[in-house]
Amino acid sequence: MLRLSWMTSPEPLHDIAHLGSVELLTPQLEKSLWYFRDLLGMEVVQRTAAAAWLRGYGDYAASTLKLSQAPSPGVGGIAWRATSPAALERRAAALQEVGLGIGWTNGDFGRGRSFRFRDPDGHHMEIYFEEQRYEAAEGLRSALKNQPQKYTGRGVGVRRTDHLALLASDVATNRRFAQELLGFQLREQVVFDDGKNEIGSWMSPNAIHHQLAYVADVKGGHGRLHHFSLWVDNREDVLRAADILVENGVFIEAGPSKHNNSQGFYLYSYEPGGNRVEIYSGSYLVLAPDWRPVTWNERERGTGTYWGAALPESFIQYGTPDIAGEAQTPAPDLSIFY
């Protein structure tokens, strides 16, 4: 059992800069690649037989998404960029101290030395500082000096990675881990009316509303993914994404519509490997260093949508890898979730 004796720092931690890269596991690598490259418009920057590395046209890093062939869909390594080499060392020592450390690696494609660890629910994460900046090949150079790559206009044309939502059997413990060990600021959360359990918590190390969310795993699993989210600049782009995905036979699970929590404008589809992917825009930035987390109870949360159709049952029940069985007891009523 993980001990919960880590201390809340009296000063905010600024050791993590942002979400750097997400690895998605897929049993359909070529089809997943088609989805992210041809439909969403990402660029492939590196390829092996069992993996592909991609990026959005606005990402400054060499790669922000890795697709890895695997027996089942899900999330692999989640990489966070540290604010400095010293910050990396500090976080590595703190994670080692509480027993979550796994060890050092030389880093995946585009990244230097990295410290691997797990969160309390079992998701694999790592922190790194050294980053290979993307340099566009001929034909992909932007006319804009301040843009790493030109906008190609292929498919949805996602600009960058935005956030991911992980399922966790114990949201509160994982939320505390992210706040106290990674220094993330809690932005919003949804709690049951009894006040004892958390349905979900949305957090970030920077001004982006949330870069990491933990939401309740109603099936009692561990280390599972709810969704991975990519940013587009405006709501019209989300609507256009819906057209493109439908025309290509991709299942749309929910949206386009607007959340109340985060105010995000969303569209959820399943990429061919089975992972839920969100096309996201709108939302709001958080600049306040003394931000007061917004807590929604069940009634306030309502259907989870600001307007638009209610989220389907699958949004609560399905995560990757998909696991058999019904909701564990006590089964929370998550119809108000999101």
Which residues, other chains included, contact 256 with Cβ-Cβ below 8 Å and sequence gap of 6+? 235, 238, 239, 241, 242, 265, 266, 267, 308
114 binds Fe ion (CB under 5 A): no
15 binds Fe ion (CB under 5 A): no
229 binds Fe ion (CB under 5 A): yes
| Of 102-110, 273-281, 283-291, 330-338: span binding Fe ion (CB under 5 A) | 273-281
What one-character-per-residue DSSP string does 248-306 give? TTPPEEEEEEEESGGGEEEEEEE-TTS-EEEEEEE------TTPPPEEE-HHHHTTSEE
Taking the complex as a whole, how short is the minimal distance between the CB of residue 50 and Fe ion, in angstroms? Answer: 28
270, 24 Cβ separation under 8 angstroms: no
Q: Give the span between the Cα atoms of 268 and 242, in whole angstroms.
A: 9
Strands (E), the chain: 16-26, 43-47, 51-55, 65-69, 74-82, 101-105, 114-118, 124-128, 160-168, 185-191, 198-204, 212-216, 225-231, 252-259, 264-270, 276-282, 294-296, 305-307
Taking the complex as a whole, how short is the minimal distance between the CB of residue 159 and Fe ion, in angstroms? Answer: 15
Taking the complex as a whole, how short is the minimal distance between the CB of residue 330 and Fe ion, in angstroms? Answer: 26
DSSP 8-state assignment for residue 313: T
305 binds Fe ion (CB under 5 A): no
Number of residues that bind Fe ion (CB under 5 A): 2
> Which residue's Cβ lies closest to Fe ion?
229
Nearer to Fe ion, 95 or 225 (CB): 225
162 binds Fe ion (CB under 5 A): no
Q: Which of residues 38-97 bind Fe ion (CB under 5 A)?
A: none
> For Fe ion, which residue of 278, 296, 320, 337 counts as binding (CB under 5 A)?
278
Nearer to Fe ion, 44 or 242 (CB): 242
Taking the complex as a whole, how short is the minimal distance between the CB of residue 71 and Fe ion, in angstroms? Answer: 26
| Of 79-87, 129-137, 248-256, 277-285: span binding Fe ion (CB under 5 A) | 277-285
Binding site residues, Fe ion, CB under 5 A: 229, 278
